[in-house]
Amino acid sequence: MSSNSWSLSSHLPPAADPADTTTGYPARIIREQIEEAERAQRERIEQSSELNTPEMRIRAWERLHRLTLPRGSAHAVLNVVAKATHLTLEQVREEQRRRSEPVPRPQRVDSGAITPPTRDPEESGSADHK
């Protein structure tokens, strides 16, 4: 994640006194709006950072817009995603393909049965006839 020295946090109103009902709510709303603006700014930086993989950039775009990458390879929004993330349309489609692949299921391990190693038939024959 990129570091940004510019921040609105230093301009936030002071924490409200819970006993003071006249300033508590408005100050909280302003604080939440500023925090949301900072989050959106971080996501915009992440979605186009060349330090991030295409998957990371697309996920940042999804978080920023609160949308999921469409599944259709001809969907019009793919061009918008490509432009916003500074990826090619083919890179966006590759992420679609990657997401559509079935997730490999973990292999089931036998529940405790110990299987002895198998022996080479030639080896066991020579040991039995000594």
Structural domain boundaries, residue 80: 13-101
pLDDT of 14 > 90? The answer is no
Within-domain flag for 82: yes
Within-domain flag for 17: yes
User: Cα-Cα-Cα-Cα dihedral of 82, 88, 92, 98, to 10°?
Assistant: -160
Within-domain flag for 50: yes
* pLDDT per position as a tens digit, 74-112: 999 999 999 999 999 999 999 999 999 888 888 776 666
Within-domain flag for 55: yes
Q: For residues 79 and 10, what is the distance between their CA atoms, to the nearest angstrom?
A: 37
Q: What is the pLDDT of residue 122?
A: 54
The position carrying tokens 């510019």 is: 6
Within-domain flag for 116: no
Q: What is the pLDDT of residue 88?
A: 97
Helix axes 77-85, 24-48, angle to 10 degrees: 90
Both tokens of residue 9?
A: 């946090």
Within-domain flag for 122: no
Within-domain flag for 23: yes
Within-domain flag for 91: yes
The pTM of the full predicted model, rounded to 2 decimals, is: 0.59
Q: How many domains does the chain have?
A: 1
pLDDT of 120 > 80? The answer is no
